[in-house]
Each structure stands twice: as structure tokens, then as C-alpha cells.
Structure 1
Amino acid sequence: MRRAPKRITSFDVAREAGVSQTTVSFVLNDTQGQTIPEETRRRVLDAAKRLDYRPRASARSLAAGRSDVVLLALPGVPISTNLSRFIEQFAGALAEHGLSLVTHLAEGHGRPLPDLCAAVDASAVVSLIPFDEATAEALHRAGAEVVLGAGKQATAELQEIGRIQARHITSLRRENLGYALPGEHSSEWRVQERLRGVAAVCAEQGLAEPIALEVELDAAKAAVAVDQWVRASVTGVCAYNDETAMAVLAGMHLRGLRAPDDLAVIGVGDVAAAQVSIPALSTIGFDYAEQGRESAQAVAALLGIAVGDPAAAVDVLARPRLILRASA
């Protein structure tokens, strides 16, 4: 995370093009009735492009001279109950600091995130996935004072989730592991980091790498993955999330297999249905509500409108915990 450089304004464009701000306004707004030479128009447009200038429309601002908008960039995944709980608490805690939340599916097919940042006049942009450097710079130029993407601590957290899963499964004397990849609607970064955590534990214990197979939310298709694991003598499966783990259980049921006797299965998320799956699903749980509140506090601290240590609040860990039930 880096503090924003001075945002690009129409004054900067005017200076770059060697014209007045009025001329810049006429050109960028395509104002009718103005006789502006084509060479001047082109110079203004080229200057705006070079500076990566985006017009901002904001009718509200905080006393500190910033908007009250925080833009949350979500990965292109279904909005689960746990994610909804995080967003609800994040929005509520931001409101306590006079900030408003706008959400955006960052991996969708809508307008680019920097354009949206400028359009809603966001003072802060928060992401549940990492920002590359070019995107972070573009967000700063679009006016965001705080750009907070998932960083090193978030990566470590995702890997720790996989580590907790693998350590538990191997503690049951299951030495050949499988990994159930989600069939669709997932963030590739999150998937791969969790898988790396599982693979790291296998390497540390001198075990073979986990056999990673895609498991769709369809019992018959999941059963095909189960068949492959059985043929490879896999005895424990770590799943990317609870939904994928429950698909594995459904595939096992079609094949007459039982958890944990034939395959020990563990998920991630502790969704409500995990408690009533057959058998009840062992999983990794989080305090999503607390994570939402702490994330809001981090944003407010970084904007300088709340007490706190911004440096210590850049990455908020969800503190994963093992929840033992019948499946593993």
C-alpha cells in the first residue's frame, strides 16, 4: 500500500497542453458552439491521455477534502453467506466513520476499476484479491488516497488455511492426499495459494504432492473425481471450500464410500449447510464479522479519520480455525 500521489486535475491537463482550463473543459466536455482549432483540441486530448486523466463527478466530500466513498472490489465469485456477513459488517463499521461502501465485481465484464473509482469519486479502494502495480497506480491517478489490496499477509493466510487442512488430515495417518478444486466461480489466486499450503505440508512430511482434481457441484461428475482418487490410493481430501467438499461427499455416496472411513474430507468456510451434510463436514472457519469491522478500522486509519496504526492494519488476518465434525 502506498499513499496517493497528487491526483491529476484539469489544471494539470491545461498546463501540459499549454492552454487554459476553460479550453480543457470545452474540449473534454465536447461543448457545442466553441470554435477551438483542431490542433488545439488534439493537443488537449493527447495531454489528457498522457496524464491518464479521468474526469471526476462528486457532489459530496468530507471536511478533509475527500469523498466519503470506499470502493470494495470483489472477486468474481458468488456472494456466499460468509462473504455477505463480511460486507455487511464492513459497510456498517465504515458508516460509523462517516464512510459509504460501493461494491464492484472486479473480475466481471464491466467498466475498468480505475474508471469506476473516478466515476464514484472513491477516496479508498479495497480488494479481496491482489492489485498489480499498474492497477494500483491507475487507481491512485483516478483519485484514490488509499489503495488496499490483498498482500503478503493475505497470501500467508490463504496458505495457512491449506496447511491447517493438510496437518489435520495427515494427523489421521492419511498419507496420500487429494485436493478438490472448485469447478467454477472461483478466484484462481485464492485457489492456488490454498493448494500451495497443502502441498507445503506434504513436502515437509516427505509425502507425495496432493492430487488436485476439479470437482463440480454435481454428484455424478464429482464421483468421477472420487474414482480417480481411489485408483491413486488417496485416503484424504482437502477441498477449496465447503461446497466443493460436500460435492465430494455426494460423489462418494454414489460410489458407496463413506467419510472418513474411505476418504477423510475437510472443507473451508463453515457454511450453515456444513453442519447438516452427511456426514457433518469438518472445515476451517473464520470470524467474518470481526474481519469486516477490523478492515473498516484499517481503512479509516489510513484515511486519517480514526485512531489506529495504519501500518499495522494494512492486511487484516481472518484467523482461520479448525472445526472438527464427522467427515475427518
Structure 2
Amino acid sequence: MLNDTPGQSIPEETRRRVLEAVRQLDYRPRGSARSLAAGRSDVILLSIPHLSIGPSIGRFVEQFAASLADAGLTLVTHLAGAPGQALPDVCAAVDASVVASLEPIDDDTARTLRRAGATIVFTTEVEAHPTMRQMGHLQAEHLIGLGHRRIGYAMPEHKLLRKIADDRFLGVADACAQAGIDPPVALDTKFDTAVMARAARRWRRESVTAVCAYNDEVAISLLAGMRRAKLTAPEDLAIVGADDIPLAQVADPPLSTIAFDLEKMGRSLAEAVVASLSGGRPRVSPPAFQPHVIHRAST
């Protein structure tokens, strides 16, 4: 009765009394009891890389969680590589039916996860190497198309971001090589206007006219450093970011960037999970969503 199962023949008065007792006792159905009846739990475990969680990954996780909630499923997240329990241990502890990961899962780990209770294991490489490289390639391609022939690259300070940053940098380097221009001038940066001002002046001394930033946060910090150095965008340095965070369009000047529909990917992954739990054919990953340039005043 509490589950509103169709076809029940319970008298209305009995139903009313039971529901009133449930309300007074503040009763909540036990997940373990539901799992026993259904043969699986309603918990979905998402493993995300142990790195600084920016707005893009945040939007993906929020959309994934909301779409799962619409289907009566609950999302639990796990930081891969962080101190604490390993992914299979967490899977067993929360009794997850499905494990999804933003990084590749090797065959041995997948088998261990299934022994821990997961019936389905997805690898959803949101930070996949080809996509990250493509984003960097698009950044440089955009600047080269505007006539720039000497390009810089703003590396992030956070060490946990360097793998992704290196992939994006390789995309920038690929585009420069294809255009027959010098390799990009990469500099380490941090969220400090004085540091960013020095980086901007150095790029100018090395005849750099445009910079690809690791992401929008680095790009917006660079714009602040440029103002401190009495430089303007795009006249002194054209700047392009990546990820299209909400602040990008209200930066000074509004920031050109690379957009990537992670919210759509979150919905797609949730649909794949629901379909698989309903007996459909599991998909290894949702379809890829191509990044694209958003041209604003910074370039």
C-alpha cells in the first residue's frame, strides 16, 4: 500500500488509518527492504577524478543526480584516488546497483565491482583524452583564424589538473603545428593578479598576441592580471578560455570560450542507467557531445 502498487483491494478507511499512522510515526521505507524486494538497490555510484571540481563537472553531476532522482534513483559520489575507501569497498558499503566512472575502469576492477554488488559498470569518460585535446585544438584554431601567429598557453596552478591541462595543451600545439606556426609558449599561472600581470608582460615580450587558458577561471584571472599590467584584451592579448562557465559572459571583457554540453551528457548517462536497470542493453558510454567555440569580446 505504501508503494501505491496498482490493483490493491484495501478498503479506503484502512488505507487512511495506515497512512495517518505513517505520518505520525514519520516512517521512512527502508532501502534494504526495497532492495530485497526488487533484487537490487536504488543507489548509483559515480566515481569522479580526485581534482578540483569546477563548474563544468559540477553541472554534469547535478544534472546526472537530478535525472536519476526523476527515476527514483539516488546518486552517491566517490573521489577516485583520494584517501579513504577504494571504489569497490564503497560500492559494497552503499550497496550500489550501478557504478559509473569518469575515468577508465580496468577489467580487474570491473570484476571486483560486480563481486561487490554492482550489476552494471559504465565508463563515461567526460575528461576523455580526445575530447580534451579537441578543446585545446579549437581554442588555438579560433585564434589562428583571427590572424594570430604567436600563441601562449596559461597552465593551471593546481597539480591535480595538470593531466587534463596537458591534454588540452597538446591540442593547442597540434593546431599550431598544422598552421605552420611556432609552438605555443606555456607559462604556469595562479589566481593572483600580480602573477598574472607578470605572465601577460612576459608573453608580450615574447611577441605572443593571443593566449589559450586552461579554463575560464584561469582566463578570467588572466584578464584581471592584464588590467593590473595596463594591458587590454583583445588589443594587447586576445584570450580564449574553456568550459563556458556562467561568469564567462559577464567577464570584462566577455570571454570567448569553448562550450561543452556536460548537462546533456548527464541526462544521457542517466537515461542509459535507467534503460539498463529496466533490462535494456547497457551502453558503455553516452554519445559524445562535440565542443564548440563561443566568440565574445576577449578575442
SS at match of 2:97: strand
The residue aligned with 2:292 is: 321
The residue aligned with 2:170 is: 196
The 2-side partners of 1:122 and 1:191 are apart by: 32
The residue aligned with 2:204 is: 230
What TM-score, normalized by structure 1, do the two folds share?
A: 0.74
The residue aligned with 1:65 is: 39
Bigger mean CA offset, 107-116 vs 275-284? 107-116
Q: Residue 221 and residue 272 in structure 1: after superposition, are their counterparts in 2 closer, same or farther (change >3 A)?
A: same
The residue aligned with 1:240 is: 214
Output the aligned Cα RMSD.
2.6
The 1-side partners of 2:179 and 2:216 are apart by: 25
- 1:115 corresponds, among 89, 94, 98, to 89
The residue aligned with 1:180 is: 154
Kept in 1, the 8 Å contact 2:101–2:125? The answer is: no
The residue aligned with 1:285 is: 259
Q: Residue 89 and residue 153 in structure 1: after superposition, are their counterparts in 2 closer, same or farther (change >3 A)?
A: closer
The residue aligned with 1:16 is: none
- Deviation of the 1:315 alpha carbon: 4.0
- Deviation of the 1:59 alpha carbon: 5.1
Deviations 1:166-216 (A, max 9, x none): 110111111121111111174333222222211211121122222222211
Query: What is the letter of the counterpart of residue 256 of structure 1?
Result: K
Kept in 2, the 8 Å contact 1:298–1:310? The answer is: yes
The 2-side partners of 1:278 and 1:94 are apart by: 37
SS at match of 1:144: coil
Runs of 5+ unmatched residues, structure 1: 1-56
SS at match of 1:187: helix
The 1-side partners of 2:77 and 2:110 are apart by: 17
Kept in 2, the 8 Å contact 1:83–1:288? The answer is: yes
The residue aligned with 1:95 is: 69
SS at match of 1:245: helix
The residue aligned with 1:129 is: 103
- Give me the identity figure in percent: 47
Kept in 1, the 8 Å contact 2:91–2:116? The answer is: yes
Number of equivalences: 269
Kept in 2, the 8 Å contact 1:242–1:268? The answer is: yes
What TM-score, normalized by structure 2, do the two folds share?
A: 0.80
The residue aligned with 1:106 is: 80
Q: Residue 259 and residue 153 in structure 1: after superposition, are their counterparts in 2 closer, same or farther (change >3 A)?
A: closer
Q: How does 1:1-328 map to 2 (within 5 A)?
A: 60-61=34-35, 65-151=39-125, 154-184=128-158, 186-301=160-275, 303-305=276-278, 310-311=282-283, 314-328=285-299
SS at match of 1:122: coil
Kept in 2, the 8 Å contact 1:166–1:198? The answer is: yes
The 2-side partners of 1:128 and 1:74 are apart by: 5
